[in-house]
Structure 1
Amino acid sequence: MTQPKTLPAAADFATIRDWVFDLDNTLYPHAVDLFSQVDVNMTSYVAALLQTDRDSARKLQKQYYLEHGTTLQGLMIHHGVDPDDFLEKAHAIDYTGLQPQPALAAAIKALPGRKFIFTNGSVKHAQDTAGALGILDNFDDIFDIVAADYLPKPAVGTYDKFAGLHKIDTENAVMFEDLPRNLVVPKALGMKTVLLVPENEEGTFTEWWERKGEEDHHIDYVTDDLTAFLTALI
Structure 2
Amino acid sequence: MRGFSHVDTWVFDLDNTLYPASCRLFDQIDVKMGEFVSRRLGVELVEAKRRQKEMFYRHGTTLRGLMTEHGVTPDDFLDYVHDIDHSAVPANQPLDAALHALPGRKLIFTNGTVAHAEKVLARIGITHHFGDIFDIVHADFIPKPEMEPYRKFVRQTGIRPGTSAMFEDIARNLLAPHELGMTTVLVTSPDNHDAEHLNRASGQEHIHHVTGDLAAFLADLGAGLKGNQSLARST
Q: Tell me how far 1:164 sits from its aligned partner.
A: 1.0
Residue in structure 1 matched with residue 180 of structure 2 by the alignment: 189
Residue in structure 1 matched with residue 135 of structure 2 by the alignment: 144
Q: Which moved more, 1:174-183 or 1:64-73?
A: 64-73
CA distance in 2, matches of 1:18, 1:46: 38
Moved over 2 A (4+): 207-215
Counterpart pick for 1:218 among 203, 206, 216: 206
- Within 5 Å, which residues of 2 pair with 1:130-169? 130-169=121-160
Contact 1:197 1:223 in 2 (8 A): yes
Contact 1:30 1:197 in 2 (8 A): no
Q: Tell me how far 1:110 sits from its aligned partner.
A: 2.3
Equivalent residue letter for 2:203: E
CA distance in 1, matches of 2:197, 2:165: 22
Counterpart pick for 2:81 among 77, 80, 90: 90
CA distance in 2, matches of 1:53, 1:213: 29
Equivalent residue letter for 2:73: D
CA distance in 2, matches of 1:213, 1:85: 32
CA distance in 2, matches of 1:215, 1:84: 34
Q: Which has the higher contact order (CA 8 A, sep 6+)?
A: 1
CA distance in 1, matches of 2:124, 2:13: 14
CA distance in 1, matches of 2:11, 2:122: 17
Contact 2:186 2:209 in 1 (8 A): yes
CA distance in 2, matches of 1:173, 1:205: 25
List runs of 5+ in structure 2 lacking aligned partners.
223-235
List runs of 5+ in structure 1 lacking aligned partners.
none
Matched, 1:15 2:36: no
Q: Aligned to 2:11, what secondary structure does the other structure show?
A: strand
Matched, 1:206 2:193: yes
Q: Tell me how far 1:215 sits from its aligned partner.
A: 2.9
CA distance in 2, matches of 1:170, 1:15: 11
CA distance in 2, matches of 1:64, 1:222: 27
User: Residue 182 and residue 66 in structure 1: after superposition, are their counterparts in 2 closer, same or farther (change >3 A)?
Assistant: same
Matched, 1:229 2:217: yes
TM-score (norm 1): 0.90
Q: Tell me how far 1:63 sits from its aligned partner.
A: 1.3
Looking at secondary structure, tell me which structure has more helix per residue. 2
Q: Tell me how far 1:13 sits from its aligned partner.
A: 1.2
RMSD: 1.6
Residue in structure 1 matched with residue 227 of structure 2 by the alignment: none
Contact 2:16 2:192 in 1 (8 A): no
Q: Tell me how far 1:233 sits from its aligned partner.
A: 1.6
Residue in structure 2 matched with residue 78 of structure 1 by the alignment: 69
Q: Tell me how far 1:179 sits from its aligned partner.
A: 0.2
Residue in structure 1 matched with residue 167 of structure 2 by the alignment: 176
Q: Aligned to 1:211, what secondary structure does the other structure show?
A: helix
CA distance in 2, matches of 1:209, 1:148: 25
Q: Tell me how far 1:193 sits from its aligned partner.
A: 0.6
CA distance in 2, matches of 1:56, 1:206: 19
CA distance in 2, matches of 1:183, 1:27: 16
Identity among equivalent positions (%) equals 46
